[in-house]
């Protein structure tokens, strides 16, 4: 039996107090995890900024040899990877998302606190893998997009691309975990009365963002798995000589890559939609249309990836379709811009630093959006692709847009996070320097692009008309980088010495400002009841249209501290060391692959499996719906069941990407073997056994639900046994294929078959381990009628695995195409 966790000291005034270093390492408080994300991302922002300075130092004059060509490739690759995966996404979702989601929806924590901590540690260790080349082997050098076939071992023989591949796979695990957690939290843990149309716009933006993450990252994961197989197992997923095509990578990457643009942009839209109404002293204009436009942007984002590939020769039909969708997505984006302008129009404006950055966002993002609309036209895009116009465009969107929204959010929410105000004078200096030198740095790149300067060149000859603008941009970039020193100083100084912040220093509108600054561990003494949009504003003034200049009905700064009885009634998740250990196990496995020490790989995987099982038994009330393990739902849905359904949705995209690759490549495969090698009778028997295991799973659940522990456990063991029979049949089939000459890398058919069927078998193996663990727990009396939900969750996963196999069996075995010699 697991030991009782150490109690939290809920009487502490804020989440920042107590615990020491060990308390931070074991924390599962969403606010502390947010701070760790923020500190890590700010440090990496400094690294990414230094990489940008090196790029501009190299390009300041013609024929410069400050950097070698290879090191320049490493620097511009790492600058893109750092700013996208290690700065913007962690700040938006990991920092602001983690801190604000529970506070804005009236919850005490996220749905799965330990999963939240685990996602941070995996993110941190993935960032280390991505940057490990600074000390050994060289940094990734193929661009953040990693186009095949330049990433193959023949063209990139060092560790550079291995860091890219394994680092992004680890970071993808972290992102999907966070997305699952936030999705369940937002859908299932909103305070009573907070309907979808009463949610803050930032919550709307994050809800749609995490859905994009769940549905976009699996495609990139599949592409990275193929790249991993090509580099480590000598397969040919991107090699033309074997009948494959490098364009497969572009499709898989941009199916993720363009939703990724909105994964970064949508949270910024939500941030600005929270800041502008506060400093305009008006409610957000057109709230319903703003919410609907976010949904429409997300929907259309899956139909525009091809505009990154107009130069690949997709043909007029595909080009026309992607051109139309790329133009259409400008409509909901334009709705948001006009709504922001209408919110500001006629308002009683307060030009704080946060408001200035928010207004700067509208201007700079609009410029970037207008240049982006041009690229929806295939002929225009063909001229501008891979020129410096593209560099200008996405920096106006991601720096002038997204990063300015992040900076506005720092100045706006910093008092709530730290309990202190940032210095407004330094902040306004920061704003004007950033605005001036950002435009001086990136607007001339439009001119350079029209003058023919291509992307990703490390030097250029004099006399081409590029000298002046490159010199001008580089000097401006150095001043732009220096302006961020003001920001970093402001953050550090204000954290320790800034003016003490009241609970509601901005006279804000949303629930997070109802708590003290900084908030207590438990967020709310009692969960608020929501009766309208802008809930805190209505609580204060009684009218959502009120100017905010009248007498307040409610002021949190004058509320008495909670009583001992109120604190005693609050139950919060306890700290845990397991997330840190699991993150370390994943890091060890990834490091083992990089150095080729497979004992370290298996050791890391063994530690991962052991720790994951141990964490599931960490609390003595394991399996029950309790606030020590999972967050509290106010909608009557179980967080774990909703989370599993969300995970299954993401896995559907993963298998769809694998199946689609098989369907395309099976007809392109060259030579023997092909589908004639498949053993239909054996696999039909294995399929029957696997389907029958679903029946046993139903019987196991029924047994536990009626309190019959013996038969419930018996049928759990039976389901696991049938799963083992299926896996044994698969192992026998693979061994037979190898004996008959079908190696993993024989041709496209063999590698697609082994990858698809093998990953399904891995899912079955995970399910078998899950079932055996639960059956043993049942024997020990840890699963009873009150904990039957844990069996139901295992059953949902097992039925999903069975359904996926029905699809695979039908497409590969029953619909096989045999190519006769």
The residues annotated with a catalytic role in the active site are 79, 109, 144, 174-175, 258, 260, 262, 273, 307-308, 333, 336, 455
Which letter does DSSP use for residue 420 in this model?
A: B
Peptide bond into 821 cis (omega under 30): no
For residue 332, the Cα-to-chain-centroid distance in whole angstroms is 23
Structure tokens at 389: 């116009």
What phi and psi, each to the nearest 5 degrees, are found at residue 530? -105, 130
Residues 6+ apart with CB under 8 A from 760: 655, 801, 804, 805, 808
Handedness of CA 289, 292, 296, 298 (dihedral sign): positive
Integer Rg of the chain from CA: 27
Farthest-apart Cα atoms in the chain, separation: 87
Evaluate whether 54 touches 75 at the Cβ level (below 8 Å). Answer: yes
Residue closest to 115 by CA, chosen among 127, 101, 98, 100: 98
HEC states along 520-564? CCCCCCCCCCCCCCCHHHHHHHCCCCCCCCCCCCCCHHHCCCCCH
What is the four-CA torsion angle of 389, 394, 396, 397, rounded to 10 degrees?
A: 150
**What's the CA gap between 521 and 15, in Å, rounded?**
5
Burial 210-231 (b: 16+ CB within 10 A, else e): bbbbbbbbbbbbbbbbbbbbbb
Query: Which residue(s) pair with 454 in the sheet?
Result: 387
**What's the CA gap between 158 and 389, in Å, rounded?**
32
Distances (CA, A) of 466 to 76, 393, 452, 479: 19, 18, 9, 20
CA atoms within 13 A on the CB side of 431: 25
Handedness of CA 234, 239, 242, 247 (dihedral sign): positive
**What's the CA gap between 197 and 343, in Å, rounded?**
18
Distances (CA, A) of 509 to 283, 341, 497, 506: 9, 19, 27, 9
Burial 11-37 (b: 16+ CB within 10 A, else e): eeebbbeebeeebeebbbbbbbbbbbb
Which letter does DSSP use for residue 454 in this model?
A: B
**What's the CA gap between 19 and 25, in Å, rounded?**
9
Rounded to 10°, the helix 201-233/247-280 angle is 160
Residues 6+ apart with CB under 8 A from 795: 697, 698, 700, 701
Handedness of CA 115, 116, 122, 123 (dihedral sign): positive
Residue closest to 301 by CA, chosen among 400, 219, 195: 219
Handedness of CA 743, 749, 752, 756 (dihedral sign): negative
Evaluate whether 52 touches 478 at the Cβ level (below 8 Å). Answer: no
Evaluate whether 453 touches 388 at the Cβ level (below 8 Å). Answer: yes
Residue closest to 150 by CA, chosen among 242, 240, 58, 259: 240
Helices and strands counted in the chain (H then E):
28, 0
**What's the CA gap between 135 and 120, in Å, rounded?**
23
Which letter does DSSP use for residue 624 in this model?
A: S
């Amino acid at each position: 039996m697991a030991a009782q966790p150490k109690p939290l000291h809920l009487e502490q005034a804020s989440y920042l107090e107590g615990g020491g270093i060990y308390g931070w390492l074991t924390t599962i408080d969403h606010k502390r995890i947010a701070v760790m994300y923020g500190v890590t991302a700010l440090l990496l922002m400094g690294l990414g900024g230094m990489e940008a300075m090196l790029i501009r130092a190299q390009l300041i004059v013609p024929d410069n040899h400050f950097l070698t060509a290879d090191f320049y490739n490493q620097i511009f690759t790492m600058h893109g990877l750092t700013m996208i995966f290690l700065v913007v996404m962690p700040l938006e979702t990991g920092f602001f998302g983690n801190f604000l989601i529970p506070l804005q929806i009236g919850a005490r924590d996220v749905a799965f606190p330990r999963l939240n901590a685990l996602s941070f540690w995996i993110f941190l260790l993935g960032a280390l893998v991505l940057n490990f080349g600074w000390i050994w082997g060289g940094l990734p050098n193929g661009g953040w997009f990693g186009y095949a076939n330049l990433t193959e071992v023949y063209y990139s023989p060092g560790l550079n691309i291995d860091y890219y591949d394994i680092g992004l796979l680890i970071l993808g695990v972290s992102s999907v975990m966070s997305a699952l957690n936030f999705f369940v939290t937002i859908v299932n843990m909103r305070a009573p009365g907070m309907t979808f149309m009463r949610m803050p716009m930032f919550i709307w933006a994050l809800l749609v963002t995490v859905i994009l993450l769940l549905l976009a990252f699996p495609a990139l994961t599949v592409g990275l798995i193929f790249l991993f197989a090509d580099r480590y197992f000598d397969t040919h997923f991107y090699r033309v000589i074997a009948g494959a095509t490098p364009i497969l990578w572009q499709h898989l990457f941009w199916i993720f890559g363009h939703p990724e643009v909105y994964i970064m942009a949508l949270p910024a839209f939500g941030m600005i939609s929270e800041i502008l109404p506060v400093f305009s002293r008006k409610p957000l204009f057109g709230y319903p249309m703003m919410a609907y436009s976010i949904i429409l942007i997300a929907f259309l984002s899956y139909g525009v990836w091809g505009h990154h590939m107009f130069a690949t020769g997709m043909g007029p039909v595909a080009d026309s379709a992607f051109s139309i969708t790329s133009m259409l997505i400008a409509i909901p984006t334009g709705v948001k811009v006009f709504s922001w302008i209408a919110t500001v129009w006629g308002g009683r404006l307060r030009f704080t630093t946060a408001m200035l950055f928010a207004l700067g966002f509208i201007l700079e993002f609009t410029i970037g959006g207008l240049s982006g609309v041009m690229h929806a036209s295939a002929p225009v895009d063909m001229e501008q692709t891979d020129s410096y116009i593209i560099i200008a465009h996405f920096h106006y969107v991601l720096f002038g847009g997204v990063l300015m929204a992040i900076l506005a959010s720092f100045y706006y929410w910093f008092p709530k996070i730290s309990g202190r105000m940032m210095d407004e004078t330094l902040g306004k200096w920061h704003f004007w320097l950033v605005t001036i030198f950002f435009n001086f740095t990136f607007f001339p790149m439009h001119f350079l692009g029209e003058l023919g300067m291509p992307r990703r060149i490390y030097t250029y000859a004099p006399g081409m008309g590029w000298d002046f603008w490159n010199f001008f941009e580089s000097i401006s970039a150095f001043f732009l980088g220096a302006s961020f020193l003001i920001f970093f100083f402001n953050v550090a100084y204000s954290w320790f010495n800034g003016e003490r912040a009241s609970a509601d220093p901005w006279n804000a509108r949303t629930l997070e400002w109802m708590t003290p600054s900084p908030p207590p561990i438990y967020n709310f003494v009692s969960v608020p009841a929501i009766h309208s949009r802008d809930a805190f504003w209505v609580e204060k003034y009684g009218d959502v249209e009120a100017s905010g200049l009248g007498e307040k009905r409610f002021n949190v700064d004058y509320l008495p501290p909670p009583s001992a009885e109120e604190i005693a009634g609050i139950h919060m998740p306890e700290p845990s060391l397991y997330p840190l250990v699991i993150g370390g196990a994943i890091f060890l496995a990834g490091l083992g692959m990089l150095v080729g020490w497979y004992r370290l790989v298996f050791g890391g995987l063994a530690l991962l499996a052991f720790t994951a099982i141990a964490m599931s038994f960490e609390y003595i009330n394991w399996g029950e719906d309790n606030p020590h393990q999972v967050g509290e739902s106010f909608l009557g849905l179980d967080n774990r069941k909703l989370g599993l359904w969300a995970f299954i949705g993401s896995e559907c995209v993963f298998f769809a990407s694998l199946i689609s690759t098989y369907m395309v490549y099976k007809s392109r495969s060259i030579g023997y073997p092909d589908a004639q090698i498949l053993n239909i009778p054996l696999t039909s028997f294995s399929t029957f056994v696997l389907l029958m295991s679903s029946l046993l799973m139903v019987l196991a659940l029924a047994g536990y639900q009626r309190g019959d522990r013996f038969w419930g456990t018996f049928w759990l063991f039976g389901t696991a046994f049938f799963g083992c029979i299926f896996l044994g049949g698969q192992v026998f089939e693979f061994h037979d294929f190898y004996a008959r000459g079908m190696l993993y890398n024989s041709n496209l058919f063999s590698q697609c078959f082994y990858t698809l069927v093998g990953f399904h078998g891995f899912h079955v193996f995970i399910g078998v381990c899950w079932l055996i663990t639960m059956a043993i727990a049942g024997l020990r009396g840890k699963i009873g009628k009150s904990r039957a939900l844990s069996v139901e969750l295992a059953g949902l996963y097992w039925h999903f695995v069975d359904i996926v196999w029905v699809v695979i069996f039908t497409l590969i075995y029953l619909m096989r195409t045999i190519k006769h010699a």
